[in-house]
Structure 1
Amino acid sequence: MKPTLLVLIPLIDEIRAQLARTFDIVYAPTAEARALAIAEHRDAVRAVLTNGTTGLTAAEIDRLRKLEFVSALGAGYENIDVVHALARDIVVVNGAATNDDCVADHAFALLIATVRDIVELDAACRAGVWRDALPMQPNFSGKRLGIAGLGNIGQKLARRALGFDIEVGYHNRKPREGVPYRCFGSLTELAQWCDYLVVTVPGGAATLHLIDRAVLDALGPHGYLVNVSRGSVVDTQALAHALSTNALAGAGLDVYEGEPEPPQALLHLKNVVLTPHVAGRSPEAIAASVQLFLDNAARHFAGEAVLTPVRTR
């Protein structure tokens, strides 16, 4: 008999069919369907597939009496109550390292598009505006890149930067051993040093508004910000003020507060490039995430150690 899997995130039919070969699926990708599914299948669900944004609360965990395995499809798990799950001896895993290249690629695309003003230049060209009527944009290469959070994605960003002759520095909770990049003791110090600041830290309460007015002021009127982590990390109002007063040259955001609603405070600004939380999404990345979920689930239900366990910090 296949274990029952509660799926709380949207999945295409092909992936749902793939999962159905292993699980009896209860598909509940909306808030209404979620509440109903938990009420109706509370005595059957043994596994939950969610993500960091959608999460799983302590109350929901307690309602699912036979729950033993929770997986975040991506790397993030900030809205899963991991502490509560582990206290109930529920195994929690994530999709670590399955979309790192995709996110790093997208971060660089946002950064180049922002620095070189690609979106506005495209609009101008379509409107018949020739280059002589447009301001020149700075070189992208030969600058300084600051990385907030030198994890797997941050290190991939650093390696990509070297191809543009960009000097790399970073700020972490603690210095990384064995990396050749300069470590800064505070985020403000890093922002003062760099031309580009890319944010790749985890979401959650510990990083709420980590990028605040002080950091943006330190980055300065010639600085650029890119966020591919979580929207909560950047103070939207502080960013809007910095961009609208030219206290910051530009920003590229794949994530923002209030998702999926667009950030109203930023929509009228021409020096910000926005994408709808797609940095980690590609056919290759999704396929790798799903396969890791299946591998972790197979090991768990066989009584073996999982590959990417999530533990409390």
Structure 2
Amino acid sequence: MESPLATTPDAAPTSPAAGTAAPPATTATPTVLRVGPLMPQLEQELIAEFDAPVISAVASELTGEREAELADVRVVVTGGRFGVSRALMDRLPSLEAIVNFGVGYDTTDTSAARELGIALSNTPDVLNDCVADTAMSLLLDVYRGISASDRYVRAGSWKASGSFPLTTRFTGTRVGIVGLGRIGSAIAKRLSGFDCPISYHNRREVPGSPFRYVDSLVELARSSDALVVAAAGGADSQKLISAEVLEALGPSGVLVNISRGSVVDEDALVSALQAGTIRGAGLDVFADEPNVPDALIGLENVVLLPHLGSGTRETRDDMRQLVVDNLRSWLAHGTLVTPVEL
């Protein structure tokens, strides 16, 4: 399994051209199963081409009769929000592969998949640019008060109270990146255009990287004005951004998270924002989505987005196609276009 501080595997995928769609399955029992809701267009394709039924991600909701009907399922297609548990894998005896819609797969029990010999794919690379663009949007918003000043105008405060308070220049800001994988590298590329000195923290130094490597996350925070979290989720990165890291970031520091909510100790972050331990935050992800703590909603020094990092039509369509390519490749050849190393 890859390091939690790299957002994607190192090898870039080479997606084969999609061939002529296969006819819908004609067997009595399905070989492809949808777990949890997916992008509507993808669901339609999976039904039309593979006659794929859908079940909840909760294994206990699967009745014995329904389990028998799914005995020949070879591939599960799911999303990063739902994943596949060990309990569900155990109830699908013919399962060979899990095709994940999204780059994050921390909701799937990868240890169980490895033990059971079940392959896993995700959708890397195609969302790098849009997620990196979102990180930059959050940084600029927090520093320049874009959302806050929009609210100021809409509330009539410009006319009633005069000019909006001065904000902070972003160009030249020292930025620390937590996780210099594909998405982290795309963020760094954009930051270079703002003349930002860039440092990063991974489990291991990235060979050939032009950016300064810091082997201590606390030290990275201490030497940065802004910290951008681009680490993968999962058990190994739970609450990686701790109260100690936030304290090291300091009262002028800004935190941006576009990875997984689980990577940040959300209670510690709320406390740090309320106490002025750090200056502000830009968050696209949360620990218990779609539930956002009321304490965060009530703060003016935080920008909140509804996990829209990769949420563009272009990226979603690329992700959909990569899921279909992975599925077709596995059923035809027993190989995945973008496999995850378990």
Scaled to the shorter chain, the TM-score interval is over 0.9
Task: Select the residue among 117, 137, 146 that pairs with 1:89.
Answer: 117
Q: What does 1:7-156 align with in structure 2 at a 5 Å threshold?
A: 7-28=34-55, 35=62, 39=67, 41-130=69-158, 132-156=162-186
Give unmatched runs, 5+ long, in structure 2: 1-23
Secondary structure of the 1:266 match is: helix
C-alpha contact 1:237 1:265 (8 A) present in aligned 2? no
1:287 aligns with 2:317: yes
> How many residue pairs align between the two structures?
312
CA distance in 2, matches of 1:40, 1:196: 53
How many Å apart are 1:246 and its aligned residue?
Answer: 1.4
The residue number in structure 1 matching 2:265 is: 235
In structure 2, do the counterparts of structure 1 residues 38 and 110 end up closer, same or farther at CA, with 3 Å as the change threshold?
farther
Q: Which runs of 4+ in 1 moved over 3 A?
A: 28-41, 131-134
Q: Cα deviations across residues 15-59 of structure 1 (Å, max 9, x unaligned)?
A: 222223431111236759963696363313221111233111111
Task: Select the residue among 163, 170, 174 that pairs with 2:200.
Answer: 170
The residue number in structure 2 matching 1:224 is: 254
Q: Cα deviations across residues 234-292 of structure 1 (Å, max 9, x unaligned)?
A: 11111111111111111011111111112223111110111111112211111111111
C-alpha contact 2:47 2:53 (8 A) present in aligned 1? no
CA distance in 1, matches of 2:112, 2:39: 30
In structure 2, do the counterparts of structure 1 residues 29 and 121 end up closer, same or farther at CA, with 3 Å as the change threshold?
farther
The residue number in structure 1 matching 2:19 is: none
Q: Cα deviations across residues 90-111 of structure 1 (Å, max 9, x unaligned)?
A: 2211111121111101111111
The residue number in structure 2 matching 1:193 is: 223
CA distance in 1, matches of 2:282, 2:137: 9
Secondary structure of the 1:166 match is: coil
The residue number in structure 2 matching 1:299 is: 329
C-alpha contact 1:70 1:91 (8 A) present in aligned 2? yes
CA distance in 2, matches of 1:114, 1:35: 45
Worse-superposed segment, 227-236 or 29-38: 29-38
How many Å apart are 1:199 and its aligned residue?
Answer: 0.2
What is the Cα-based RMSD across aligned positions, in Å?
2.0
Worse-superposed segment, 130-139 or 150-159: 130-139
Worse-superposed segment, 12-21 or 76-85: 12-21
Q: TM-score, normalised by structure 1?
A: 0.93
C-alpha contact 1:38 1:63 (8 A) present in aligned 2? no
Higher relative contact order (CA 8 A, sep 6+): 2
In structure 2, do the counterparts of structure 1 residues 71 and 12 end up closer, same or farther at CA, with 3 Å as the change threshold?
closer
C-alpha contact 1:222 1:248 (8 A) present in aligned 2? yes
CA distance in 1, matches of 2:180, 2:49: 36
The residue number in structure 1 matching 2:244 is: 214
Worse-superposed segment, 29-38 or 193-202: 29-38
CA distance in 2, matches of 1:292, 1:307: 8
In structure 2, do the counterparts of structure 1 residues 244 and 154 end up closer, same or farther at CA, with 3 Å as the change threshold?
same
Worse-superposed segment, 67-76 or 22-31: 22-31
Secondary structure of the 1:273 match is: strand
In structure 2, do the counterparts of structure 1 residues 32 and 60 end up closer, same or farther at CA, with 3 Å as the change threshold?
closer
The residue number in structure 1 matching 2:300 is: 270
Task: Supply the AA of the counterpart residue of 1:160.
Answer: R
Task: Supply the AA of the counterpart residue of 1:15.
Answer: L
C-alpha contact 2:135 2:258 (8 A) present in aligned 1? yes
C-alpha contact 1:236 1:265 (8 A) present in aligned 2? no
Task: Supply the AA of the counterpart residue of 1:6.
Answer: L
Percent identity (aligned): 41
C-alpha contact 2:126 2:318 (8 A) present in aligned 1? yes
CA distance in 2, matches of 1:136, 1:240: 24
In structure 2, do the counterparts of structure 1 residues 32 and 296 end up closer, same or farther at CA, with 3 Å as the change threshold?
closer
In structure 2, do the counterparts of structure 1 residues 30 and 206 end up closer, same or farther at CA, with 3 Å as the change threshold?
closer
Give unmatched runs, 5+ long, in structure 1: none
C-alpha contact 1:82 1:311 (8 A) present in aligned 2? no
CA distance in 2, matches of 1:73, 1:63: 22
Worse-superposed segment, 97-106 or 122-131: 122-131
